[in-house]
Amino acid sequence: DTAVSQTPKYLVTQMGNDKSIKCEQNLGHDTMYWYKQDSKKFLKIMFSYNNKELIINETVPNRFSPKSPDKAHLNLHINSLELGDSAVYFCASSQGQNYGYTFGSGTRLTVV
């Protein structure tokens, strides 16, 4: 299946831990994104990579570090997790700026 796939789907962890979320797309898209959706369903962009190069880095704490080993993968590593990091994180990809995104199904992160 052609898709954007993220793992894990659910992640429950304690405050202070470090965790990673992986994302892969097999659509051949050049651009990948991470979005955060809070408890009120508000979606905000965190990062964007185009052909492995960082092009958008919104005001996100340094504890969040994206890594793109190739244009089909964009992983998100989070250090020293805090309660406020609890949210659903969505990976997405697009081909070009104006063709809309294909979203992954999300990773629900719960920090306890």
Q: What is the contact surface with another protein in residues (CB under 8 A)?
A: 4, 31, 33, 40-45, 48, 50, 55-56, 90, 92, 94, 96-98, 100-106
Closest CA to 45 of 14, 21, 72, 66: 66
Q: Tell the burial category of 41 from Cβ atoms under 10 Å away from its Cβ (0-12, 13-18, 19+).
A: exposed
To the nearest whole angstrom, how small is the minimum distance from the Cβ of residue 36 to another protein? 11
In this complex, which beta carbon is closest to another protein, that of residue 4 or of residue 111?
4
> Whose Cβ is closer to another protein: residue 14's or residue 41's?
41
